[in-house]
Amino acid sequence: MKAAVFDGPEKLSIQQIPDPVAGPNDVVVDVVDCGICGSDLHSYLEGAFIAPGQVMGHEFSGKIVEIGKDVQGVKIGDRVTAVPLSTCGRCPRCLEGATHLCEIGLAESVAYGLPGAFAEFVRIPNVVLGGNLYKIPDNVDDAAGALVEPLAVALHAAKMSAPGPSDTCVVLGLGSIGLNTVQMLKALGAGRVIGIDISPVRLKLAAQLGADITINGREVDALEAVTEITGPGAYGVGARADIVIEASGVGALLNQAVSMTRAGGKLRIAALYEGDVMVPANQIVQKEMSVSGTFAYRGEFAQVLSLLASGRIQAAPVITHTFALDDIEQAFRTQLDKDVSIKVQVAP
């Protein structure tokens, strides 16, 4: 089959590699759509998380073409998406339900160790329907099916902040994860959502997807603008947002995010950064804020699919480009251009 192979930083080549074969507990999926993730960009540019020879691509949808003899509940032709992360099921993290933090299984995940879905076919190992494999409802299209994985990341970040009807939430950075987090916060009943970015296109889309207020951080000081909306924070320092979700990956904005959060408020970090970041630690202490990272998802796929099927959240506005597998380098360059793209997908 044809696959895009990572040869090293900024080098992807289209190669013929052997077709995957389903073991007794696996399925093979004919890939229809596969999105480029922010983490794929880190891998593409710096070789982060992966080694040369890796086929990337972990946000996918497709049709089942081969089923292992011990797999139950699926048939050839079923439209599916899958959780790419592998889990061991036996370590302390797995046993407490935090399978996304499994330290043993993750090394053999789809697109991280095992071949990913920037290819004509992908093998999903150790399939459990409703566990790591999900059927896509008829009224959810393939492109939306390939957005379930990043939507699950956003839903996890929103759930980790547990928004209420009286909460003012700030989302910093309106890329795919930020925009999807705006949608998820509203779907979970957040009172007021403020979206911050420097791209007019993204700000407009955030408003369309439910942001109550948008702030262009290139035109105004974002912290001052949030302070005007929420009122000043404790001791007159910073603002007083109840919930702040940092999705930009810009160190200076993580710094501002701390200042935007009220005493006793919640800061959730959903982005990755280049190198270490300085934060105003004394504010975290004095405000007794809760700060946590949010990583991947913990069983959110089913809820994302029902939110999509009911129309409560939208996929189409977020997917801005689709490229053929042969044009994957162009797809990556388009995803890197933040003024042009939100979510770029490849259609093998």
Chain positions contacting Zn ion, by CB under 5 A: 37, 88, 91, 94, 102, 104
CB of 77 to Zn ion, least distance (A): 26
22 versus 37: smaller Cβ distance to Zn ion:
37
43 versus 227: smaller Cβ distance to Zn ion:
43
Instruction: Give the C-alpha separation, 286 to 121, whole Å.
Output: 52
CB 30 within 8 A of CB 59: no
Nearest to 170 by CA among 240, 236, 264, 221: 240
CB 37 within 8 A of CB 343: no
94 versus 257: smaller Cβ distance to Zn ion:
94
CB of 285 to Zn ion, least distance (A): 33
Instruction: Give, in order, the Cα–Cα distances in Å from 133 to each of 76, 125, 331.
Output: 14, 10, 26
SS3 6: strand
CB of 105 to Zn ion, least distance (A): 5
CB of 32 to Zn ion, least distance (A): 17
- CA terminus-to-terminus distance, the chain: 10
CB of 101 to Zn ion, least distance (A): 8
CB of 282 to Zn ion, least distance (A): 34
Tokens of 266: 């919640």
Which residue is listed with tokens 């980790």? Answer: 160
CB 346 within 8 A of CB 323: yes
CB of 149 to Zn ion, least distance (A): 6
Instruction: Give the C-alpha separation, 162 to 132, whole Å.
Output: 25
117 versus 190: smaller Cβ distance to Zn ion:
117
Instruction: Give the C-alpha separation, 194 to 232, whole Å.
Output: 16
174 versus 226: smaller Cβ distance to Zn ion:
174
222 versus 308: smaller Cβ distance to Zn ion:
308
Cβ burial 10-44 (10 Å sphere, 16+ → b, else e):
eebeeeeeeebebbeebbbbebbbbbbbbbbbbbb
215 versus 270: smaller Cβ distance to Zn ion:
270
